């Protein structure tokens, strides 16, 4: 990954602090995951996150990384939002993009945030990127097949309209599953869990979480025939999956940040 380009990214901060176009889960999904994560930060992590985010909460910055995709000066991070794996492959066995992917982006951000002596401007940058990329890592079609560009070439009909599997799972399905705002998603999904259940969700590493998303992606291809009209039965079947991925993304992001800022 071309880490030297990160100095260039800092220049974009001022121009990209306003609302941004959203990809991935869509702005609502990224916000919901960020809200859940914020609720589970330790006091120490909360203070450091708030300081690095200039007093804003994590949801404020959760879609910031998508805005960079609108400027061709930052094309080098365009592949960092996903990691494609064709049928029959895991993340480990799939072909890797030499420019990096969502897993390597998460690992890089964690590494940089743990680096002693890193400037606050770079820590802030990597924090904003990490918030977004952990969300992308838990979006099923961001581990979609390389052969159809992560579901972009996989035609489906949803509620009487032509779309594709990637677009469906980025945002359309979220709105169809529940007519909630991002904060309502967080409030309804972030239920109180016992310690054992929480530890089970947080278990593993970003590589394990990436592999889990690949498995989920394969299951969605199997459960979503091409060109078939999808309606209420499909929504009813998969709405719990969205809730699960939001909760996992939020808890796991909090886990990473609590560990990073523990000392």
Give pLDDT tens digits for 132-184.
Answer: 999 999 999 999 999 999 999 999 999 999 999 999 999 899 999 999 999 99
210, 253, 247: which is closest to 84 by C-alpha? 210
Mean of the per-residue pLDDT values for the chain?
Answer: 90
**Beta carbons within 10 angstroms of residue 143's beta carbon:** 31
Choosing among 2.60.40.2230, 1.10.575.10, 3.40.50.300, 1.10.1740.10, the CATH entry for 18-260 is 1.10.575.10
| Cut 0.95: pTM above it | no
pLDDT for residue 75 is more than 80: yes
SS (H, E, C) 10-40: HHCCHHHCCCCCCCCCHHHHHHHHHHHHHHC
| Per-residue pLDDT, 191 | 86
Length of the chain: 263
């Amino acid at each position: 990954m071309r880490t030297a380009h990160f100095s260039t990214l800092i220049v974009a901060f001022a121009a990209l602090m306003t609302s941004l176009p959203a990809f991935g889960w869509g702005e609502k999904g990224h916000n919901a995951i960020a809200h859940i994560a914020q609720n589970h930060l330790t006091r120490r992590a909360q203070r450091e996150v708030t300081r690095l985010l200039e007093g804003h909460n994590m949801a404020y910055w959760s879609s910031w990384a998508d805005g960079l995709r609108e400027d061709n000066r930052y094309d080098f991070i365009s592949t960092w939002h996903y990691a494609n794996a064709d049928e029959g492959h895991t993340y480990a066995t799939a072909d890797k993009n030499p420019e990096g992917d969502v897993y390597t982006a998460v690992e890089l951000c964690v590494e940089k945030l743990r680096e002693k002596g890193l400037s606050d401007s770079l820590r802030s940058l990597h924090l904003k990127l990490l918030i977004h990329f952990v969300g992308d890592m838990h979006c099923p079609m961001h581990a979609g097949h390389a052969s159809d560009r992560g579901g972009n070439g996989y035609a489906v009909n949803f509620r009487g309209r032509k779309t594709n599997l990637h677009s469906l799972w980025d945002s359309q399905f979220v709105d169809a599953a529940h007519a909630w705002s991002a904060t309502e998603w967080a409030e309804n999904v972030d239920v109180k869990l016992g310690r054992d259940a929480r530890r089970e969700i947080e278990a593993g590493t970003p590589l394990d979480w990436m592999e889990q998303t690949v498995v989920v992606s394969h299951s969605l291809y199997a459960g979503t025939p091409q060109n078939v009209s999808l309606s209420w039965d499909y929504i009813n079947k998969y709405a719990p999956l969205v809730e699960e991925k939001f909760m996992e993304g939020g808890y796991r992001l909090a886990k990473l940040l609590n560990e990073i800022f523990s000392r």
